[in-house]
Structure 1
Amino acid sequence: MNTLVQTEFTTSDALVKELIRAGVTQAFGIVSIHNMPIYDAILREGSIQLITARGESGAVNMADGYARATGKLGVVITSTGTGAGNAAGSLVEAWSAGVPVLHITGEVASPYLGTGRGYIHECKDQLSMMKGACKEAFRLRQPEQVVPLIRHAVSEASTAPVGPVTVEIPIDYQSAIIPEVMIESGDYAIKGKEIPLNINKGIVTKVTAARRPVIWAGGGVISSGSSNEVQALAELIGAAVITSQSGKGSIPEDHPLCIGHFAAHQPVRELLEKADLLISVGVRFRSNETAGWEVSVPKDHISIDIDCQAINRNYDVTHGLVGDAKSILKQLMEALSIQSITPDQNYINEVGSVRNQVRAALRETLGPYEAFVDGMRRLLPQDTILVRDVTVPANVWGSRLFDIYQPRTSIHASGGGIGQGLPTAIGAQIGQKDRKVVLMAGDGGFMVNVGEMATAVQEQLPLIIILFDDAGYGVLRNIQDAAYGRRVAVDLLSPDFVMLAKSMGFTAERVGSPEAFVSQLETAISYKGPSMIVVDMEAVGPMAKPFGGPPGAAKAFQPKKLGR
């Protein structure tokens, strides 16, 4: 007798069929009494690989990392109440980064919704909690409507502004017998990709006339697949290219026109003040990347964004082009192709000088860690996916001096939450099994989701973890030092990370010098399984200049009177 056969067609079966139609091949999560029918339907169907996380928070991060590394939909399945609540923080990260994630969660049995009777895993108002953490959240109201609801949720997650969407399915609905129906429609439509009818002549004139243009490339360049178009435009008009964190890899960072993720650094701020045109592509202009929006931008500002609500949100725009960046840039290039454009070579030389200046100035602050970044970039393949948790080395040089050459090979915590790096890296490695995935993390943040090391081992992933151990919350230490001259709640007692890693099934070594680090990294690259390099930051020694947090961070915490 085949125990996987089920003769009746259920809501869960319909859900699985719809996921497969959407192209889903992997799903992350934790099985529970409130999602077991869905898990069983996935098992019986057999096409979707299930990756079991050790916590719902980590499961969402894995789906997030998978989506960022592949460009596909990330799918995560969690339980009700506490399980859904555990997922909420990581869903906020996916929302902040604009990542297409479908979160499927159970709910209590439909007769008990909102009754407060103490049904197991009951939450007072789970749907509102999910709406607060996600782009949108829906509850299945009738089992027979599961197919159109999932189809709508997938489309919503992929529609500008892209973001995570939750679907709640009460547990009694999951096993409900329903008619098997096929809704005939085209492929999942991603709305908002309309191509403008034409590029305004005024825009063409401004671009053609600009002598000191700047392109600010954001995460929208990566998600729209418009990297080639951005590079071509920069080369055509001789524009400096600065990037947001999310926009790293928009063009190769060794390109002479690419200044990179240095917008708030003084030489770049001065370049922007003297610029006569800004073309921003898919940029949110986050506070921590613009020194609290104190970075000045040119009066003439052409904004290209698929989200119409992004226009004028943080900086004034003179010309807003709303739609798919790739389509718009192609049309802009066509309009410019008949123009006579001669880039200003003196300005191009100035851009190269600024590019070298900000990198050299940052290198002077690193002390012994300069050899770390150089060793990593020299040894790691160009298509390595670098995932960065919130930690001093990642913030200072991992996000700026480690050159990124391709889209979707730079992943960081957009929302600034610590501890999400490990599961995010696991998701990226699941999605890109043939690439090297390297995680930069600090000891404080790493302990948040440390249990996910077991997931990496169980899935036999060749993940490389570089753990910078300074026995505390290093970023906050430095901000407290700068703001108050004293510290509180930032010193931590950590385990022996090498012993911990080995007990989990990792190979691991502790290093205390740049030379030992580079040697151990070379060994880890050749190893086929998961590995960890623990960097003893006390033994390595301090940076030449302490990191005081993002520009203006210390100032923000000084006592001040607020206006009425």
Structure 2
Amino acid sequence: MAAGPRAITGGEAVVRALAAHGTDLAFGIPGTHNLEIYRHLAAYGIRHIAPRHEQGAGYAADGLARVTGRPGVAVAVTTTGPALLNIAAAVGQAWSDSVPLLVVSPGMPLRHPRPATGLLHETPGQSEAFGHLTAFSHRVSSVAEIGAAVARAFTLFRTGRPRPVHIEVPLDLLTATEPAGPPPTAPAQLPARPQPDTVRAAAGALERARRPALVLGGGAHGARAEALALAERLGAPVVTTANGKGAFPESHPLSLGVRLHSPAVQQWLADSDAVLAVGTELAESDTWSALPVLTGTLIRADIDPAQMYAALPADIALVGDAREILRGLLAGPGTAGAGRTAAHGTVADLRSEADAAVTGPDADRLPYLAAIRSVLPPAAVLTSDSAQCCYHGALPHLPVDPPGRCLHPTGFGTLGYALPAAIGVKAGEPDRPVVALSGDGGLQFTVQELATAVELALPLPIVVFDNGGYGEIRDEMTARGDTPVAVGHAPLDLGALARAYGGHGARADTPAALADALRTALTVAGPTVITVPEPPAPPPPFPHPPSAAPCGAPAEETAR
């Protein structure tokens, strides 16, 4: 017999519902309005990590969710008003990259009058505002409703396209005591499967193709083995989006890596007679330019039916779980198309043509990236920022094979992601090597999280390419013929700053020095900032990414 209602506060109802869904770690900062939530965390076995800024809490939860695929730990607790608005950038990034981030905040009292009355942290319509950043923003109206709201969030995380959710609990409900029965829990769901006749049509188109192509996005991470098997059966070259990096082994002879920005790769894609795009928006932030005009059959596989009509509409629409879809395609007879192009030679030529365009400072970074790769073990996680060293560097030129990962803020393109995301990964998987990669401009958006990393006392290298400011924007100004304005920073000793926080600092003027510093940083407790000095760079020889620039990957089946 189920237990009857028990009188609990709204704060306890929040924590109890989170624990019922497997939450064992939350990120956030306590404040006057959320203390009733914090009171109950320990009793329900939920560990808490307090970053120095709510944006850091959101990025940390995001990073952990991408790597573990467990939305139960992607929880950030904020207070009302400024704290909730502080986390908005992280919520926007989680929306863009399809990450299951749950943000819980207090709100104004149930019967709060309007216009404003001058309450502390008073923010009109904060739940309505977050409704535009999330899959949904739910303002509860009773203690009993809290459990249902949390269950609704986890049902979305488990069954649809995972995106952030905001749950707001009015201040008076947090401390109010009301009877509430056991919290409902999100049901276990079987993976969604597409229609068999549609799968057969897609399999036939791929088998008949003489020049098939695969594009893997973040939604393909849960189908890595199947994607590899299908590519090998078809002899099809594979290119990944930024968030798809790591969904296909980049050491494989069929891999083009993350090179959708290359004109040569875009032309190859346009000329392919069958393109299978798995778990990707096929968006401008993937190609850094206008989308190519495809001449062949476009087959889209995605959990989100809306993607079948977005950007490039599908000729054959496979709506469902990526693994189930690819397993269905593999279940066919497997006869290769006659006269199919020798794919290995195609890949080698495309790689060479794309890489030949890399000159100047971008080419100068390549030995440093090779040094990082030589030190990192295969399962390491690289977190990156919206910085030149990432989208011009690590994105196409630091290869990753599963189970390794590369996490990047794609699309929304926020700055300051790398360090707190690395903290989140390290907090959830302390034995897994993690390296953050950033520029000096991006790092300083969240540099205060060095203090959080010190408190965790876990090895965490942060490699920073220092070009004295916002190098990408400086390049764009120069390319326009403008005089650069507000893009240069005064020199800063980042290593000394790390030591001031209680961490470590190093400088790497050569790739060998970077490799040595990285080896040490992977073994010492706490964060190590390794500065790689760079001169200000001229504009790159290939097109700039749009303002929201890419380099990374998502949770097992989350980010796109």
Distance in 2 separating the partners of 1:126 and 1:516 = 49
Classify 1:549/1:504 alpha carbon distance in 2 versus 1 (closer, same or farther; 3 Å). Answer: farther
Classify 1:398/1:247 alpha carbon distance in 2 versus 1 (closer, same or farther; 3 Å). Answer: same
Classify 1:548/1:56 alpha carbon distance in 2 versus 1 (closer, same or farther; 3 Å). Answer: farther
| 1:287-326 matches, cutoff 5 A | 287-326=284-323
Equivalent pair of 2:210/2:341 in contact (CA under 8 Å): no
Question: More displaced, 98-107 or 363-372?
Answer: 363-372
Classify 1:343/1:110 alpha carbon distance in 2 versus 1 (closer, same or farther; 3 Å). Answer: farther
Distance in 1 separating the partners of 2:114 and 2:458 = 42
1:189 is displaced (CA, Å) by 4.2
Partner of 1:226, secondary structure, is: helix
1:342 is displaced (CA, Å) by 6.4
Equivalent pair of 2:460/2:522 in contact (CA under 8 Å): no
- For 2:67, the equivalent position in structure 1 comes to 69
Question: More displaced, 169-178 or 48-57?
Answer: 169-178
Classify 1:280/1:343 alpha carbon distance in 2 versus 1 (closer, same or farther; 3 Å). Answer: farther
Q: Deviations over 1:53-72 (max 9, x none)?
A: 11111111111111011111
- For 2:33, the equivalent position in structure 1 comes to 34
Where structure 1 has 5 or more consecutive residues not aligned to the other structure, the ranges are: 1-6, 555-564
- For 2:540, the equivalent position in structure 1 comes to 547
Report the identity percentage. Answer: 30
1:17 is displaced (CA, Å) by 2.0
1:466 is displaced (CA, Å) by 0.5
Equivalent pair of 1:467/1:533 in contact (CA under 8 Å): yes
Classify 1:363/1:201 alpha carbon distance in 2 versus 1 (closer, same or farther; 3 Å). Answer: same
Classify 1:8/1:44 alpha carbon distance in 2 versus 1 (closer, same or farther; 3 Å). Answer: farther
1:44 is displaced (CA, Å) by 2.8
The yes-or-no answer on 1:395 pairing with 2:391 is: yes
- For 1:518, the equivalent position in structure 2 comes to 515
| 1:13-24 matches, cutoff 5 A | 13-24=12-23
| 1:447-486 matches, cutoff 5 A | 447-486=444-483
Q: Which amino acid aligns with 1:385?
A: V
Q: Which amino acid aligns with 1:366?
A: D
Classify 1:292/1:301 alpha carbon distance in 2 versus 1 (closer, same or farther; 3 Å). Answer: same
Distance in 1 separating the partners of 2:186 and 2:144 = 21
Equivalent pair of 2:477/2:483 in contact (CA under 8 Å): yes
The yes-or-no answer on 1:170 pairing with 2:170 is: yes
Q: Which amino acid aligns with 1:515?
A: A
- For 1:83, the equivalent position in structure 2 comes to 83
- For 1:148, the equivalent position in structure 2 comes to 148
Q: Which amino acid aligns with 1:547?
A: P
Q: Which amino acid aligns with 1:277?
A: A
Classify 1:274/1:364 alpha carbon distance in 2 versus 1 (closer, same or farther; 3 Å). Answer: farther
Q: Which amino acid aligns with 2:148?
A: P
Classify 1:550/1:101 alpha carbon distance in 2 versus 1 (closer, same or farther; 3 Å). Answer: farther
Equivalent pair of 1:69/1:431 in contact (CA under 8 Å): no
| 1:396-411 matches, cutoff 5 A | 396-406=392-402, 409-411=405-407
Q: Which amino acid aligns with 1:34?
A: H
The yes-or-no answer on 1:251 pairing with 2:251 is: no
1:234 is displaced (CA, Å) by 0.4
| 1:351-390 matches, cutoff 5 A | 351-362=347-358, 366-390=362-386
Classify 1:186/1:133 alpha carbon distance in 2 versus 1 (closer, same or farther; 3 Å). Answer: closer
- For 2:418, the equivalent position in structure 1 comes to 421
Partner of 1:280, secondary structure, is: strand
Q: Which amino acid aligns with 1:57?
A: Q
1:535 is displaced (CA, Å) by 1.4
Equivalent pair of 1:89/1:133 in contact (CA under 8 Å): no
- For 1:558, the equivalent position in structure 2 comes to none
Classify 1:485/1:407 alpha carbon distance in 2 versus 1 (closer, same or farther; 3 Å). Answer: farther
1:325 is displaced (CA, Å) by 1.0
- For 1:122, the equivalent position in structure 2 comes to 122
Classify 1:113/1:72 alpha carbon distance in 2 versus 1 (closer, same or farther; 3 Å). Answer: farther
Distance in 2 separating the partners of 1:432 and 1:368 = 33
Partner of 1:399, secondary structure, is: helix
Classify 1:48/1:324 alpha carbon distance in 2 versus 1 (closer, same or farther; 3 Å). Answer: same
Partner of 2:169, secondary structure, is: strand
Q: Deviations over 1:300-340 (max 9, x none)?
A: 11110110101121113210111111111111110244x46
Partner of 2:247, secondary structure, is: coil
| 1:3-18 matches, cutoff 5 A | 9-18=8-17
Distance in 2 separating the partners of 1:364 and 1:441 = 19
Q: Which amino acid aligns with 1:43?
A: A
Classify 1:278/1:102 alpha carbon distance in 2 versus 1 (closer, same or farther; 3 Å). Answer: same
1:375 is displaced (CA, Å) by 0.8
For normalisation by structure 2, the TM-score amounts to 0.91
Runs of 4+ in 1 over 6 A off after TM superposition: none
Equivalent pair of 1:368/1:514 in contact (CA under 8 Å): no
- For 1:278, the equivalent position in structure 2 comes to 275
The yes-or-no answer on 1:537 pairing with 2:534 is: yes
Classify 1:408/1:91 alpha carbon distance in 2 versus 1 (closer, same or farther; 3 Å). Answer: farther
Partner of 1:33, secondary structure, is: coil
The yes-or-no answer on 1:348 pairing with 2:344 is: yes
1:527 is displaced (CA, Å) by 2.3
Equivalent pair of 1:29/1:51 in contact (CA under 8 Å): yes
RMSD: 2.3
- For 2:206, the equivalent position in structure 1 comes to 207
Higher relative contact order (CA 8 A, sep 6+): 2
Distance in 2 separating the partners of 1:31 and 1:552 = 38
- For 2:217, the equivalent position in structure 1 comes to 218
- For 2:3, the equivalent position in structure 1 comes to none
**Which residue, 259, 262, 265 being the options, matches 2:259?**
262
Equivalent pair of 1:276/1:298 in contact (CA under 8 Å): yes
Question: More displaced, 65-74 or 404-413?
Answer: 404-413
Q: Which amino acid aligns with 2:478?
A: D
Equivalent pair of 2:211/2:341 in contact (CA under 8 Å): no
Equivalent pair of 2:418/2:438 in contact (CA under 8 Å): yes
Equivalent pair of 2:453/2:526 in contact (CA under 8 Å): no
Classify 1:535/1:40 alpha carbon distance in 2 versus 1 (closer, same or farther; 3 Å). Answer: same
The yes-or-no answer on 1:497 pairing with 2:494 is: yes
Partner of 1:148, secondary structure, is: helix
1:365 is displaced (CA, Å) by 6.0
Distance in 2 separating the partners of 1:284 and 1:312 = 10
Equivalent pair of 1:68/1:408 in contact (CA under 8 Å): no
Q: Which amino acid aligns with 1:53?
A: P
Q: Which amino acid aligns with 2:500?
A: S
